[in-house]
Amino acid sequence: MKIAVLAGDGIGPEVTREAVRVLEALRLPDLVLMEGDVGGVATKRHGTPLPAETLEMARTCDAILFGAVGDPDCDHLDRHLRPEQAILGLRKELELFANLRPAKLFNGLEDASALRPEVASAIDLLIVRELNGDVYFGEKGIRTLPDGQRQGWDMMAYSESEVRRIAHVGFRAAQGRRGRLCSVDKANVLETSQVWRDVVTEVARDYPEVELSHMYVDNAAMQLVRNPGQFDVVVTGNLFGDILSDQASMCVGSIGLLASASLGEGSRGLYEPIHGSAPDIAGQGKANPMATILSAAMLLRHSLHLEDQASRIETAVAKALADGVRSGDLGGTMGTAAIGDAILERL
């Protein structure tokens, strides 16, 4: 079982270190961890955010544990040299098209949510975000208009097959949960979304036991803070999923808690916290490693089929939170390593 550990930039190395400690504590036989450079660190060392050797390592591993990428020092570079291209490149090159982002309120965190406790405590949802298409991967550019102004443009597009395969993931996820799927789009304005909605509706015929609804993304953003308990599985495109998952994270207390799995057709996957590199607190040992530790649990579940070990980690995190273990993002004072220790003790 080979795992590529790609820690990346900012707080990436700090939070990844704690997740690696947790994986190692499980003493799994045959577990091999390999490290590779990605992001701004890789651009500085190798002149590219996703070096060929890192991509090759990722290809030959069973799973990838990813920290974060993003570095303000690189923001002036051409887009293909920016740290974010590392994660976009891995998702695309490995055809990891399905991003699972669960959000559930942990016991004891009712007061950490940006929402009222009685609203927040009902949250138990899964965002299924498409990851290989949309405006993220369309043609883009900056051109000069006849009047001399610059105009930035990005092409948004979804083909039927791209929508179909993510819709199946959404429906199957709903089958394994409470049987409800909400497809989020902007079909009242965008043709991309019209095709999305039509295809999701077609795929629904294969899943008569799943209750499908459609919602415009503006309404979904509103419903997510008004009554998030109404959602079971939400399936949506790359851009809307990016935005709604950050929003969902604050509904359950902190962006430092949300884990994610990026999957393709096989069992290889990439696992990362949904938060970024947080350059403002990088290197200070105060980032919350829980999202990365929970991502490691998802790795064990989805790529290595070690459900027991995955739930052991999740239970340890839940216990730590119930016992009042809190980093700064949750109003506490504990540092990254102390949180790691607290989870290891409970494991």
Question: What amino acid positions are annotated as catalytic residues?
Answer: 136, 186, 218, 242, 246
Binding residue (CB under 6 A) for ligand IPM from 18, 232, 242, 329: 242
Shortest distance, position 220 Cβ to ligand IPM, whole Å: 17
Shortest distance, position 324 Cβ to ligand IPM, whole Å: 29
CA-closest candidate to residue 239, choices 156, 139, 165, 159 = 156
Shortest distance, position 12 Cβ to ligand IPM, whole Å: 11
Which residue is it, tokens 């949180």?
339
Q: What is the DSSP string of 171-223?
A: HHHHHTTTSEEEEEE-TTT-HHHHHHHHHHHHHGGG-TTSEEEEEEHHHHHHH
Binding mask 69-108 for ligand IPM (x = CB under 6 A): -x-------------x--xx--------------------
Backbone angles phi, psi at 59, to 5 degrees: -65, -35
In angstroms, rounded to a whole number, what is the distance separating the alpha carbons of residues 79 and 86?
11
Neighbours of 75 (CB within 10 A): 11
Residue 276's binding partner, choosing from Mg ion, ligand IPM, none, with beta-carbon cut-off 5 to 8 A by kind? ligand IPM
Residue with smaller CB distance to ligand IPM, 87 or 166: 87
CB 233, CB 167: distance < 8 Å: no
> Which residues is 234 bridged to in the sheet?
127, 182
Shortest distance, position 33 Cβ to Mg ion, whole Å: 26
Residue with smaller CB distance to ligand IPM, 63 or 203: 63
Residue with smaller CB distance to Mg ion, 18 or 242: 242
In angstroms, rounded to a whole number, what is the distance separating the alpha carbons of residues 200 and 236?
10
Could you say which residues in the range 175-204 bind ligand IPM, by CB under 6 A? none
Binding mask 246-275 for ligand IPM (x = CB under 6 A): ----------------------------x-
Residue 40's binding partner, choosing from ligand IPM, Mg ion, none, with beta-carbon cut-off 5 to 8 A by kind? none
The site for ligand IPM, by CB under 6 A, has a size of: 7
Residue with smaller CB distance to ligand IPM, 14 or 84: 84
Residue with smaller CB distance to ligand IPM, 84 or 162: 84
Shortest distance, position 10 Cβ to Mg ion, whole Å: 14
Binding mask 26-65 for ligand IPM (x = CB under 6 A): ----------------------------------------
Residue with smaller CB distance to Mg ion, 140 or 164: 140
For 148, 154, 215, 230, the CA distances from 261, given in Å and listed in that order, are: 44, 26, 24, 23
What is the greatest pairwise CA distance in the chain? Answer: 66
CA-closest candidate to residue 264, choices 181, 162, 183, 196 = 162
Residue type, 29: P
Shortest distance, position 64 Cβ to ligand IPM, whole Å: 13
3-state secondary structure of 256: helix
Backbone angles phi, psi at 303, to 5 degrees: -95, -35
Residue with smaller CB distance to Mg ion, 39 or 51: 39
Q: Does 276 bind ligand IPM (CB under 6 A)?
A: yes
The encoded tokens of residue 144 equal 């000069």
In angstroms, rounded to a whole number, what is the distance separating the alpha carbons of residues 289 and 273?
9
Enumerate binding residues for Mg ion (CB under 5 A): 242
Residue 127's binding partner, choosing from Mg ion, ligand IPM, none, with beta-carbon cut-off 5 to 8 A by kind? none
Binding site for ligand IPM (CB under 6 A): 70, 84, 87-88, 242, 274, 276
